[in-house]
Amino acid sequence: MRIGPYAITPNLILAPMAGVTDKPFRVLCKNMGAGLCVSEMTISDPRFWRTSKSLHRMDHAGEPAPISVQIAGTDPKQLAEAARFNVDHGAQIIDINMGCPAKKVCNVLAGSALMRDEKLVAEILSATVDAVPVPVTLKIRTGWSPDSRNALAIARIAEDCGIQSLAVHGRTRQDFYTGLAEYDTIAAVKQAVRIPVVANGDISDPLKAKMVLEYTKADALMIGRAAQGRPWIFRHIRHYLETGEQLPEPSLSCIADTLLGHLRQLHEFYGEPQGVRIARKHLGWYSAAQENAAEFRARVNKAETAAEQVALTTAFFDALIEQEATAAA
């Protein structure tokens, strides 16, 4: 799969997730086998571009190419200006958010709420594509509600406006993340347009990845929540798609090494105390499947320093590894 001049290899993409896909997580997932990692969404309103949060989101120093930045908003001129601003700060691909179901986004008619106004969609896409010399991509849902699935119409508008790749999450906005993703709409979109189509929604393991690719005929897969605490999912899916063999789950030692490396990158990127606080959700995801995870989270979430957080995490996994070795003896 290609997006403009960029070959996306493998065809596995980390979905943009607010509060999750910051630079430390993007770099980690890229190293774990993702072909492309999309940033957290950046608000198009220029009043917020110089905040600490926005400046962190626009920090791409040392990030593997291609650098894809998602922008969100409702005003075509503001989105065009946001696209230019982010390209000036290192973005090589601009992704437009029309898929976010969050109330605070939809209440201002952004994110997936835009799918209810196809005329405005066309204006936004045309303005953004015309504003920058880099590829522009789009992320949508299947529609606003089960009674209003207009992904096909939006896909045709996107293609006509020059969008170079379209990611479709297999739920409507009203579904949020409940129920099961459906792939019939994604398959129909793939048949209807010539641009690359990316399937998204409930792709949680290699077997599901293969099924979705075969069913939808999509050009790539986008993985979001399934990568939280499991960044190696990209490596496992790629291996299965290429060989038909499933890799074993990572050992406790591998999980610990990955997590501790991730913690150190978060601490370095954000500093204290912000890095410690941001790391807490990742600690919960990495440890969720382990014995005594609740007790560990209760302790580690009280840590106020990076050193304490690392020490508690190291001790937790060392105990698990020792317990596993004793049981195997």
Contacts of 74 (CB under 8 A, 6+ apart): 44, 108, 109, 110, 114, 120, 124
> What are the DSSP calls for 27-95, one per residue?
HHHHHTT-SEEEEEEEES-GGGTTSHHHHHHT--TTPPSS-EEEEE-S-HHHHHHHHHHHHHTT-SEEE
- Cα separation, 308 vs 45, in Å, equals 38
Is the CB of residue 98 less than 8 Å from the CB of residue 69?
Answer: no
Long-range pairs of 236-239 with CB within 8 A, sequence gap ≥ 24? 236/205, 236/206, 237/12, 237/33, 237/203, 237/205, 237/206, 237/209, 238/10, 238/12, 238/33, 239/206
Element (H, E) at 187: helix 184-192
Catalytic, 100? Answer yes
Rounded (10°) angle between helices 118-131 and 151-161? 30
Catalytic residue among 29, 37, 100, 161: 100
Query: What are the catalytic residues?
Result: 100
